[in-house]
Structure 1
Amino acid sequence: MSLNLHALMLFYNVALAGSVTEASKRLNISQPAISAQIRNFEKQYNVILFEKKGRNLVLTSFGQKLFKPTEKLFLLEEQIETMIEDYHKHPQGKLRLSGNYLATSVLIPKWASLFKQRYPKVEVEITTVNSQVALERLTNYEADIAIFGNSEITSQNDHSLHCLELYQDEFKFVVAPNHKYANRQISMEDMVKEPFIMREEGSTTRKRLLELCSVQDVNPPKIELQFNGLNETIQAVVAGYGVSFVSSLVASPFIKRGELAKVDVIGVRFTNKIVLCSHDKDDLEGFIRDFISIAKKG
């Protein structure tokens, strides 16, 4: 018995819209037709999807349970439609890269440049999101490659994904070269007394700093300046105010140029894997495999 996908689509849109009336407007299908199809679906599979509560139509417990996989099903349908559209719009191919801020601001620009030199006619789309969303975009076929830190996420992923470790990135405490703690060894207790400049709440580095404070049993520092980007954070420290806790991939060039100095905090060494994930290599176009080769070479 094949699944009635049309009725399932109507169920999904009614649940999404909150009423048959609103779903009818969105789909340009009459209300009686939608109601009849949903009733037939319920009868066919011996389930109840909606119930009346006053004037409102609400999902039953089974309807709630069915909604999430149905949502995934129709999101996947949208992705398939997008793939077909991209195929016609970009006959030479399209590479969709998704990564966290570190990946898209520090790593991917160089690799994308090298890639475009080899494949000038392939469209390249780069999306900056957090690590979890980067992985979700890959899993949902919204991206061909995801590059991110926060490596514990990869242990939860679909086994059909192929993940490659690119770097063991170390987080460093950094200050301006004229700061009193520049190139010195100090305790974590002293470090957290300084004003900090950090990324926004939810960023990987900020989470790691809070975890570190918990492990070291010290109070978290006061975040005096907060930015949504790595470059802005670094530039504020370079200008001479406060301390930050950042990726060595970001900090190292500034340290080499003498614009930043690291602080050796006693008993602290915090690393984070940078990984590249894709679908099974055998299913990838050749140009996607070539981008992965470029990334592996660094």
Structure 2
Amino acid sequence: MNLHVLRLFYYVALTGSVTKASEKLHISQPAISAQIRKFEKDNDIKLLQIQGRGLVLTPLGNKLIKPLEKLFAIEEQVRYLIEDYHNYPEGKLRIAGNYLATSVLIPKWASLFKQQFSGVEVHISTVNSHNAIEKLINFEADVAIYSDIGVPFIDADLFESRELYRDEYLFVVAPGHKYSSQEVTLEEIASEPFIMREEGSAARERLFQQCRELEINPPKIELQFNGLNETIQAVMAGYGVSFVSSLIAKPLFKRGVLARVDVPGISSANSILLGSRKREHQEEFVNEFISLVFKHLDTVAESL
């Protein structure tokens, strides 16, 4: 498969014209057009067709865009890995974490790491637990920190996960809520309006799983946010119930701005995991970050 020609086609499709692709790639327009036509002829396909004064994608051309985007993204990641290998102790550490990790845990670890490895760029992205795992698998992250959602790594020879903390999910409301500091059943609390994160967040998945197992109608999500802080702020403002990690909730209980609802008989254990490629498949500075995390687990937990 001629990846060079596929890249030419991709940029023509991306920019909408051979002229713009030529300017971006610094390759002449006739050369781009000729190579794409030859590729189409050799493979008995049609990727582009003229419509009016412009070019449009054929149905096959449209289908190829998404996989080509992934292909060239992986190619770019490979280039970064090689650059990082040659630049050690410089390089780029990419951390993907769920909202709990990036708001509570990762900032302290990243600060400690930068004090030792000032030449390494640290990029932190906030996603839900499902997407943190996806970023790691797709080589878009070197380290993923997320809540356990029961998804094992398919390639156990390349990836591994280790537990950082074990805490629990808690039902939380504003101090003035009717269930504040009360003991209620899951059915009672599930009948209240809920404020939750988007699908793919670990707390939401766990709550709905509990409802299925106990054959209880799941709660109606009246407000949905893509951020944990926004979710907490809405609950504190006095509307609805949420289900969040105790690492987030307990400091807010102490401040008196959030209250717990005790719901007996549910499994609310939450494991916070660190996922990565195995040591032999990582750049050395990534291994240094992971070692630092495990070295400072107790000191970070004590500060929460």
1:44-92 superposed Cα distances (whole Å, 9 cap, x missing partner): 5x4424264865543464x566555433332233334555777899863
Tell me which residue corresponds to 1:196: 194
Q: Which residue is 1:70 aligned to?
A: 68
Letter of the 1:149 partner, please give it.
S
**TM-score of the superposed pair, with normalisation by structure 2:** 0.76
Q: TM-score, normalised by structure 1?
A: 0.78
Deviations 1:167-213 (A, max 9, x none): 34422112345544334321222213334333356644344444444
* Residue 122 (structure 1) aligns with: 120
Identity of aligned residues (%): 56
Other-structure match for 1:131? 129
Q: Secondary structure at the match of 1:152?
A: coil
Aligned with 2:47 (options 40, 46, 50): 50
* Alpha-carbon offset, residue 281 of structure 1: 0.8
Q: Residue in 1 aligned with 2:219?
A: 220
Does residue 148 (structure 1) correspond to residue 146 (structure 2)? The answer is yes
Counterpart CA distance in 2 for 1:162 and 1:57 is 44
1:160 aligns with 2:180: no
Distance 1:89 1:105 in 2: 30
**What is the CA–CA distance in structure 2 between the aligned matches of 1:162 and 1:257, rounded to whole Å?**
37
Match of 1:108 among 106, 109, 112: 106
Q: Is the 8 A contact 1:139 1:158 kept in 2?
A: no
Contact 1:163/1:278 (<8 A) preserved? yes
CA distance in 1, matches of 2:7, 2:243: 48
Q: 1:294 to 1:257 in 2, by over 3 A?
A: farther
| CA-CA distance at 1:284 after TM superposition | 2.4
Question: CA 1:176 to 1:66, structure 2 compared with 1: closer, same or farther past 3 Å?
Answer: closer
Q: Cα distance 1:94–1:10, how it changes in 2: closer, same or farther (>3 A)?
A: closer
- Is the 1:90–1:123 contact (alpha carbons within 8 Å) kept by the matching residues of 2? no
Letter in 2 for 1:48: I
The answer as to whether partners of 2:97 and 2:126 remain within 8 angstroms in 1 is: yes
Task: Classify the secondary structure of the residue corresponding to 1:115.
Answer: helix
Please name the residue that 1:8 is paired with: 6
| Contact residue 173 and residue 258 of structure 2 kept, 8 A | yes
- Following TM superposition, the consecutive aligned residue runs of length 4 or more in structure 1 with deviations greater than 6 angstroms are 84-90
Q: How many residues align?
A: 293
Q: Distance in 2 between matches of 1:70 and 1:59?
A: 15
* Superposed counterparts of 1:183-262, under 5 Å: 183-200=181-198, 203-215=201-213, 216-221=215-220, 223=222, 225-238=223-236, 240-256=238-254, 259-262=257-260
Q: Which runs of 5+ in 1 are unaligned?
A: none
Q: Relative to 1, partners in 2 of residues 1:226 and 1:142: Cα closer, same or farther, differing over 3 Å?
A: closer
Distance 2:282 2:200 in 1: 32
Specify the code of the residue in structure 2 equivalent to 1:294.
L
Q: Which runs of 5+ in 2 are unaligned?
A: 298-304
Shift of 1:269: 1.8
53 and 123 in structure 1: CA distance in 2 versus 1, 3 angstrom threshold: closer
**1-structure distance, mates of 2:15, 2:168:** 46
Give the letter aligned to residue 47 of structure 2.
F
Q: Report the 3-state secondary structure (helix = DSSP H, G, I; strand = E; otherwise coil) of the residue aligned with 1:185.
A: coil
Separation in structure 2 between the aligned mates of residue 52 and residue 97 of structure 1, nearest angstrom: 42
Contact 2:130 2:149 in 1 (8 A): no
Q: Is the 8 A contact 2:194 2:240 kept in 1?
A: yes
Asked if the contact 2:153/2:159 (under 8 Å) is kept, the reply is no
Once residues 5 and 21 of structure 2 are traced to their aligned partners in structure 1, the CA distance between those partners, rounded to angstroms, is 13
Amino acid corresponding to residue 218 of structure 1 in structure 2: N
Counterparts of 1:242 and 1:229, CA distance in 2: 16
- 2:294 alignment counterpart: 296
